[in-house]
Amino acid sequence: MRFKTKRDPLFVWLWLLMLFFANLVLLWPLLLDPQALTRTEIVGIIVPDALVTLLLTWLALDISYVIREDLLVVKGGMFRSKIRYEDITRITRQPNIWLGYRLLFSRDAIEIHYRNGVLGSVAISPVDQERFIQELIRRNPSIEFSDQP
């Protein structure tokens, strides 16, 4: 069962702004004086810029949360977290979305606390949060849920 991420317009605009500035910084030498650069230098500017743009776009567009038979897979671009249901200890609403391990594009987030993780929790923002939480609790009834962080 796959859950898509909720996307706030604010986050989309911030992401696009970051992409714009990343491209501006990487392409700056090309924008200043393209005639002063050799073909090799131009390729050396454009290729890293294209790779950074593709990587950031992949990270932003490929966010999903997959409930499998035995574990939850949280994925965003090249990042994957596999969390066994029995390792999940609690789920909380998370108003502080700016710090820590976050694979989300919305302020309406939940934080999944789990054992055996490097950071111990991940904040996510599935579109259908209530159904997502119910599904996790169905698979592990000992999960605590709280509206308070």
**C-beta of residue 22 within 8 angstroms of C-beta of residue 60:** no
103, pLDDT greater than 70 = no
**C-beta of residue 59 within 8 angstroms of C-beta of residue 78:** yes
- Tell me the pLDDT band of 70, cut-offs 50, 70 and 90: very high
Is residue 79 in some structural domain? no
- Residues 88, 137, single domain; the answer is yes
- Residues 107, 54, single domain; the answer is no
Q: How far apart are CA 40 and CA 77, in angstroms?
A: 30
Q: Which residue has the tokens 């962080």?
A: 149
Is residue 90 in some structural domain? yes
Is residue 52 in some structural domain? yes
- Residues 104, 55, single domain; the answer is no
Is residue 53 in some structural domain? yes
Is residue 70 in some structural domain? no
Mean pLDDT across the chain: 87
Count how many domains the chain has: 2
- Residues 57, 104, single domain; the answer is no
Work out the average pLDDT over 122-141.
94
Is residue 66 in some structural domain? no
**C-beta of residue 89 within 8 angstroms of C-beta of residue 114:** yes
73, pLDDT greater than 90 = yes
What's at 89, amino acid-wise? T
**What is the pLDDT at residue 12?**
85
What's at 119, amino acid-wise? L
**C-beta of residue 111 within 8 angstroms of C-beta of residue 123:** yes
Work out the average pLDDT over 84-90.
95
Q: How far apart are CA 23 and CA 20, in angstroms?
A: 5
- Tell me the pLDDT band of 138, cut-offs 50, 70 and 90: very high
102, pLDDT greater than 80 = no
Among 46, 61, 76, identify where a domain stops.
61
Is residue 55 in some structural domain? yes
25, pLDDT greater than 60 = yes
Domain that holds residue 31: 2-61
Work out the average pLDDT over 9-17.
87
